[in-house]
Structure 1
Amino acid sequence: MKLQLALDLVNIPEAIEVVKEVEAHIDVVEIGTPIINQEGHHAVKAMKDAFPSLAVLADTKIMDAGGYEVMNASQAGASIVTVLGATDDETIKGAVEEAKKQGSEILVDMINVTDIEQRAKEVDALGVDYICVHTGYDLQAVGVTPFSQLTTIKNVVKNTKTAVAGGIKLETIPEVIKAQPDLIIVGGGIANQDDKKAVAAEIQKQMKDAATV
């Protein structure tokens, strides 16, 4: 299992300062959609330049022109690029093809996909690297969590690694770890805490402990 820090701060210097605090305890840093909307791929490059040893995920949420969008994000320094599972297969295929050329990976975000089980089976056959269950901010606000969906895709995916995002925090990490996703994505559960380093370190510890059981 790997730990990804999701950053939705639109202030790049502030985002870099947050990553400095937790760099030793994370594997991937995500440049969130709000930052990309505000700053473009400059934010991806700035983060990769600041932390060359970390993988950078560009949360582009691609819905069309898969190959072109993946090329731009990858050339800016993204190791992983996101595509929406709700898009068509041709867009995902184009993204996968370009990612292979660029040496990057594709994460398919299943946010707002109605039939998670069926779509996960379809996406699993398209050669992507990760399938991610994701509960968005608006649903988190009314108490929805991604855990049942994670179990669903774990049961049907045969080739692709799995990821989970959406309101995950230190208190819910044990439940997430039980499902054994390959990538755990935490945003405010680390970034909004007073002692970010301590929280990230504890999450990392619990993940490592589970891996040795």
Structure 2
Amino acid sequence: MSPAPGLQIALDTFDLPSALGPLQKAAPHVDVIECGTILVLAEGFHAVRAVRALFPDKEILADVRIAEAGSKIARMAFEAGASLVSCVAGASMATIEQVCAGAAEFDGEVQVELADEWYDADRARAWRQAGVQHVIVKRSRDREAAGNLSWKPEDLGRVDELAGMGFTVTITGGVTPTDLPAFAGHPVGIVIAGRSIVAAADPAAAAAELKRAIEEVWP
């Protein structure tokens, strides 16, 4: 049986202090720390360097959603201490290949984030062949804002198909413990939680609750 998914905390605050406060409380319960797109845009790669200095043994994702200039942005992220970098699904294969080459140089990994309405299995196979290890299946922030909090059968099928290609599949999009049973029996590799931990009155308790729920769904 596959191991239980890891828990990833997404830090998408507008400044570093607002990210580090909840992170330091929740860190014992999380496996991957995500320096989110908003945080990196607000603070630059200083955010990644700061998190790496505080947590030298944690996996750190720089969620920079690379679309172009793949080799340059990937190098900046890995030099700052990232373990993983993200690319958008619409990036060209040339860009994806540049990022994968940069990741190989730094012994890092590459993730592609699927847009809510975008998926092509042949392209996903090409990513895997190029060296991409991780793919995100997400319920978008805009879909959540519209009140659609469901996970669709096609979401679950996508998880299965991508895992079958050899990817570590991550799920995200306002994930709470009540969402997880929908994924029982599916090969999820990582569960991302952002606001439900970062904005919680007790980030450590919120992260611990999610970790327990993961272990119950994937015993």
Normalising by structure 2, we get a TM-score of 0.88
Distance 2:123 2:174 in 1: 23
Aligned partner of 2:214 among 190, 207, 212: 207
In structure 2, the partner of 1:152 is 158
Distance 2:61 2:33 in 1: 6
Tell me whether 1:74 sits opposite 2:78 in the alignment: yes
In structure 1, the partner of 2:182 is 175
In structure 2, the partner of 1:11 is 15
In structure 1, the partner of 2:125 is 121
Given that 1:177 and 1:207 are in contact with CA atoms closer than 8 Å, whether structure 2 keeps it comes out as no
SS at match of 1:111: coil
Given that 1:4 and 1:186 are in contact with CA atoms closer than 8 Å, whether structure 2 keeps it comes out as yes
CA RMSD of aligned residues (A): 1.9
Q: Deviations over 1:78-129 (max 9, x none)?
A: 1110011111111111101110101111111112452344443332332111
Distance 1:145 1:46 in 2: 36
Higher relative contact order (CA closer than 8 Å, sequence separation 6+): 2
Given that 1:167 and 1:189 are in contact with CA atoms closer than 8 Å, whether structure 2 keeps it comes out as yes
SS at match of 2:137: strand
What is the total number of aligned residue pairs between the two structures? 212
Q: Which runs of 4+ in 1 moved over 6 A?
A: none
In structure 2, the partner of 1:60 is 64
Distance 1:209 1:28 in 2: 20
In structure 1, the partner of 2:104 is 100
In structure 1, the partner of 2:173 is 166
How far does residue 210 in structure 1 lie from its aligned partner after superposition?
Answer: 4.1
Aligned partner of 2:35 among 23, 31, 56: 31
Question: Per the alignment, do residues 177 and 6 of structure 1 end up closer, same or farther by CA in structure 2, a change over 3 Å counting?
Answer: farther
SS at match of 1:125: helix
How far does residue 135 in structure 1 lie from its aligned partner after superposition?
Answer: 2.6
SS at match of 1:138: helix
Distance 1:96 1:146 in 2: 30
Task: Give, as a single letter, the amino acid of the residue that structure 1 aligns with 2:170.
Answer: A
SS at match of 1:185: strand
Structure 2 residues without counterparts, runs of 5 or longer: none
Distance 1:101 1:47 in 2: 21
Structure 1, 99-108 or 111-120: larger mean CA deviation: 111-120
Identity %: 27
Normalising by structure 1, we get a TM-score of 0.91
Distance 2:183 2:193 in 1: 11
In structure 1, the partner of 2:192 is 185
Task: Give, as a single letter, the amino acid of the residue that structure 1 aligns with 2:51.
Answer: M
